[in-house]
Structure formats: structure tokens, C-alpha cells
């Protein structure tokens, strides 16, 4: 039995910068920014498909690594990833890394 498709959620394009490996989000201006607040949010499935097409073109141009879409939610004036995995990816490790100031 096939699973029912998930309902569409507003989405942003996430990737890693090719030079630094930093997690980045595609802005409406076409830049890749490290702050989720600066990301373009696709509000419809068609807009999400178009956003992913632009993000993949940036991949093909050697700007970022394997962009994908992640679902986001708006809470109290902020935007955050819907899934815990993407929240951790967007905000960094949950434990101090060797040599980090955390």
C-alpha cells in the first residue's frame, strides 16, 4: 500500500557552500546566505519547484553542493525548519566540537 503524499509545507532551498561547507539558504535575490531569515520561502508547490530549479542551476555553476528543499514553519515572527534534523543542520552541532569556543 502506497503512502499518501504529505501535504505541501512552505519550503526553502538549503545547501552547503562549495568553498567553506557552511550551511546556506537561497535568498530571493539569488544569493546564498547563512541566516535562514534571509531565505526565499516558496509558498506553493509550483514556487518550490521553481526555487529548486534555480538552486540546482547554482549547483551546476559550482556555487553550492546538492541543494534540496526543506519544509519550514513560521512561529512568533520567526522561521524555523519543520524537521528536527534540518533544525540541527541549520543551527549547528548540538555538542561542542574539539577546538570550538562553545
Q: How many domains does the chain have?
A: 1
Neighbours of 70 (CB within 10 A): 20
> Which residues form the domain of 22?
13-91
Q: Is residue 49 part of a domain?
A: yes
Q: Is residue 43 part of a domain?
A: yes
Q: Is residue 40 part of a domain?
A: yes
Q: Is residue 102 part of a domain?
A: no
Question: Which residues have C-beta within 8 Å of that of residue 71, sequence separation ≥ 6?
Answer: 9, 10, 11, 81, 82, 83, 86
Beta bridge partners of 70: 12
> Running along the chain, 102 residues long, what does each successive block of 10 average in pLDDT?
84 93 94 95 97 97 95 91 86 72 57
Q: Is residue 68 part of a domain?
A: yes
Q: Is residue 36 part of a domain?
A: yes
What pLDDT is stored for residue 100 in this prediction?
Answer: 67
Task: Report the C-alpha gap between 21 and 84 in whole angstroms.
Answer: 20
- The predicted model scores a pTM of 0.84
Task: Report the C-alpha gap between 26 and 50 in whole angstroms.
Answer: 12
3-state secondary structure of 32: strand
Amino acid at each position: 500500500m502506497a503512502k499518501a503524499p504529505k501535504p505541501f509545507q512552505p519550503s526553502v532551498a538549503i545547501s552547503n557552500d562549495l568553498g567553506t561547507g557552511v550551511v546556506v539558504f537561497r535568498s530571493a535575490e539569488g544569493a546564498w546566505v547563512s541566516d535562514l531569515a534571509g531565505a526565499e520561502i516558496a509558498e506553493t508547490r509550483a514556487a518550490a519547484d521553481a526555487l529548486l530549479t534555480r538552486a540546482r542551476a547554482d549547483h551546476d555553476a559550482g556555487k553550492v553542493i546538492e541543494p534540496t528543499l526543506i519544509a519550514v514553519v513560521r512561529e512568533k515572527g520567526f522561521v524555523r525548519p519543520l524537521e528536527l534534523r534540518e533544525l540541527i543542520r541549520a543551527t549547528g552541532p548540538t555538542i561542542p566540537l574539539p577546538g570550538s569556543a562553545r
